[in-house]
Chain A
Amino acid sequence: MAPGESDTAGGMATTDDVVEAVVRYAAVVSSHRQELIDLDAAIGDADHGENMNRGMTAAVQALEADPPGSPAEALKTVATTLIRKVGGAAGPLYGTAFLRASTAVQDRETLGPDDVVTGLRAALEGLVSRGKAEVGDKTMVDAWSPAVDAAAAAAGDGVAALVAAAADAAEEGMRATTPLVARKGRASYLGERSAGHQDPGATSTALLLRVLADLASERCGSDAGTA
């Protein structure tokens, strides 16, 4: 297919879009650092905000140092950086998610709606295979899983619409972790006492998808090619 204006109008995500999303997510994580630390302090080891901030800062630096040639390359750079730099459970979890997403869109120059859904689904599968968590365990899977379902259901409406649906579903899933009793991760040691607190991993996931949604909606708006 010919890459060009028509793709952009139809809502294809380019390599630059992926890099821009990473840069924005790093900024969002940085500004939510204390919130993530506080959420994690309540039921975990209080390192999620710091670890994600360190990891995403390093990911942006890695992308600047070695500009990626495709969306898959960008995602892979983020994956390996998170795996190496985060230090807590979020490193291998998000790292595996990004790595699987990268593999899933390996040969794509730009990402269309189906590619984005495929990437999100692969990320979720990576998370589940790494962390062995299920929906209801009070983990980031509680945000990722409904997000993937919502994205798949809205795939026919274009990239911006599907990531918007994913972000809404992720936020709902994130809020739904509050009453849950943790069954995975450090919070599971607290048993019943973990209830009443929102899961930090689900929170950082919802933030990520909201970044994607905002970026996609801007791009679609500015290109005047709304579906």
Chain B
Amino acid sequence: MTAGGRIGLVLVSHVSGIADGVRDLVGQMAPDVTVTPAGGTDDGGIGTSFDRVATALEQADAGAGAVVLYDLGSALLTTETALDLLDDEARARVRVAEAPLVEGAIAAAVEAQGGGDLAAVLAAAESAGGGVPPVEASRPGTVPGAVPGADSGADSPADSGADNRLRTSETLVNKVGLHARPAGALARALSALDADVRVGRPGDEGVNARSVLSVIALGLENGQQVEFSASGPDAQQALDTATRLTRERFGDEE
């Protein structure tokens, strides 16, 4: 795949400010990915525009394909209508992600920046969850509102300490800590490796290191300790990569 090797993104929102804003946010982490916003109606009101979506689809797909993220149901209806009217070949290169707009766009863009194909970028978007880290795991007895009928009784055993994961700790030496761009760099660097990698404060369970939003949500700052853990065939390589990136300030100047 030579021309237009990267997957593009289309952001369909009811509000142009949302689509444009997410594009800006995403551009910080994936500067080489074509991200085309399609927000608001033709006259700038709240709603979605068939023409804007159709144009954005055309612009985002440079030949490798495009992934669409949308905010609310009728944005999907507009997108699907626009897809219906594309020719078969162009339509075959477009996927609509069932994902939260902001988190999904960031995850998809990071994957596209790393050269992921259509399926990989779609999967990255759709695996970007709400970004809420599980906090109750280490606090027995505080499980809120056990749902009636859904209590299988399987209190997941606290096995996170007795696993076979490789671990290493580093001090964050870059100025902004694990903020958006560094988190994106980390996710990109790990994207090709076959390993389950988690990042967090030492001793904590941590979060998926490929989930940019989850990593940002840790709020790890300059001078703090960060622990990486990994399992899988490329676990050691993943830890080496994470360590090197941390020491190199994730490519930041300071």
Contacts and interface: CB of A to CB of B under 8 A. Distances in A.
A119 interface: no
B160 to A, nearest CB: 36
Contacts of A185: 73-74
**Closest 4 CB pairs between A and B?**
A87-B47, A89-B74, A92-B77, A87-B41
A51 interface: yes
Interface string A123-140: 000000011000000000
A131 B73 CA distance: 9
Given A87-B41, A92-B78, 4 more contacts: A47-B47, A84-B50, A87-B49, A130-B80
A72 B124 CA distance: 43
Interface of A: 45, 47, 51, 83-89, 91-93, 95-96, 130-131, 184-186
A70 B72 CA distance: 36
Contact of B78 (A45, A91, A184): A91
Interface of B: 41-42, 45-51, 72-74, 77-78, 80-81, 84
Contacts of B74: 88-89, 91-92, 185-186
Contacts of A93: 77
A85 B48 CA distance: 9
Chain A interface helix/strand/loop/mixed:
helix
A204 to B, nearest CB: 15
Contacts of A84: 42, 49-51
Nearest to B49: A87
Nearest to B72: A186
A89 B73 contact: yes
Given A92-B50, A186-B72, A186-B73, A87 B45 contact: yes
Which of A85, A91, A95 gathers most chain B CB within 10 Å?
A: A91
Contact of A130 (B42, B46, B50, B81): B81
Contacts of A131: 77
A186 B84 CA distance: 23
Contact of B80 (A51, A92, A184): A92
A205 to B, nearest CB: 16
A102 B41 CA distance: 26
27 contacts: A45-B46, A83-B81, A84-B42, A84-B49, A84-B51, A85-B42, A87-B46, A87-B48, A87-B49, A88-B48, A88-B74, A91-B50, A91-B74, A91-B78, A91-B81, A92-B74, A92-B77, A92-B78, A92-B80, A95-B81, A96-B81, A130-B80, A184-B73, A185-B73, A185-B74, A186-B72, A186-B74
Nearest to A86: B47
Contacts of B78: 91-92
A51 B47 contact: yes
